[in-house]
Structure 1
Amino acid sequence: MVGIAGVFWVLWNTRNNACFKNIKPASPFGVVRLLCFWLNLWSILQKKEADRNLLRWGTRLVEQVAKEVFEVARGWHPLRQQIAQ
């Protein structure tokens, strides 16, 4: 449930920033990294050590898969995007 809440939290905040503050995400990978940041932070609040470790493991897995999807499979790299701008 924490993971699902984290996804909705990050998407909601990203959307609100884009709509109301005109701050658009620089890349989709940045949104995933923000999600991983919040989930790692929220893992501290878990009562059971096993739940904390599972949440941290999940965030590492999500970040690794996102990196492969955006950087390797699609040829997208955050530094290249910044240099091109």
Structure 2
Amino acid sequence: MDKVLPVVGGLAGLWTASKIIPVMYRWELIPGVASEEWWARAKTIRYDHYTEGIVYSPYDTGEPIREMPEECRGKMLLKQRRGGWKLQSEMEE
């Protein structure tokens, strides 16, 4: 029994890993490893938008948002010369 249980446990672990690791790969949960879908999407990303003021949204809709949403205007925190922070909307008033 002392020799059989470790073998059974190892086989159960291998079977579980064979079911879980492909899902982790596809969902990009393995650090430092990217799936084929990620590489295909990375080829379509344009990295020259840094001067155009792209507003990043939490969802990838395929087309970047180029205008600031109205509810976000004036919400940037600005550091003051004498210390402290103020909202951009407070500075414009």
If the length of structure 2 is used for normalisation, what is the TM-score? 0.25
* Structure with the higher fraction of residues in strand conformation: 2
Bigger radius of gyration among the two: 2
* Structure with the higher fraction of residues in helix conformation: 1
If the length of structure 1 is used for normalisation, what is the TM-score? 0.27
- The higher relative CO (CA closer than 8 Å, separation ≥ 6) is in 1
